[in-house]
Structure 1
């Protein structure tokens, strides 16, 4: 059981970072102030990404469209707004991870925000 603690903690930290990035983005773009909603969005986005990214040749494009679709489904606005939320979340995740990894040397990523 002990060998599972490290990966579980890494998963939880990455999910919290991904949720925080989406929370910040949704707060800035559409003025939605709900961290638990952002956490669920990050989890659903990560699952959607995992289910679509394996497709040969088109996988990354399909996964990105699916991830934006999840944001579009979970937040008000259209596809353009969802894409902006996704872009701002990606930038926020980069900043959060830079600070976390520089200060605490965690070496974690952001679960639910692709590419970081």
Structure 2
């Protein structure tokens, strides 16, 4: 149970930092960590729900999951769909870099990056 809570907290913190980074790069004003936190929480919930109900559909399911996540970003931040997609791309890259750094210091395992253990 404690490890599940730790995984959730690390994932949330990484997601918040990455979304905030994407928003700061693409939006010409500080939008704050509170908005990034709400976006990360709602985005994860929506992504999971769409995945549960539609994720099994080959090719279309994962695309719908991604679109739902970007829709949450679009709802939370100004600029439209292109800006939301850009925030999503920067957030993904930021999360990969943060997790890579955490893996290098031994805080997380490579599985956090989607690389299965050997």
The bucket for the TM-score relative to the shorter chain is 0.7 to 0.9
Name the CA distance, whole Å, in 1 between partners of 2:11 and 2:108. 10
Q: Structure 2 length as normaliser, TM-score? A: 0.84
Name the CA distance, whole Å, in 2 between partners of 1:85 and 1:102. 25
Equivalent in the alignment of 2:98: 96
- Corresponding position: 1:5 with 2:2: yes
Q: CA offset at residue 40 of structure 1?
A: 1.2
Moved >4 Å (runs of 4+): none
Work out which of the residue numbers 75, 79, 82 in structure 2 matches 1:80: 82
Long gaps (5+) in structure 1: none
RMSD: 1.9
May I ask how many residue pairs the two structures share in their alignment?
109
Q: CA offset at residue 106 of structure 1?
A: 1.5
Name the CA distance, whole Å, in 2 between partners of 1:9 and 1:89. 21
Long gaps (5+) in structure 2: none
Work out which of the residue numbers 45, 48, 55 in structure 1 matches 2:46: 48
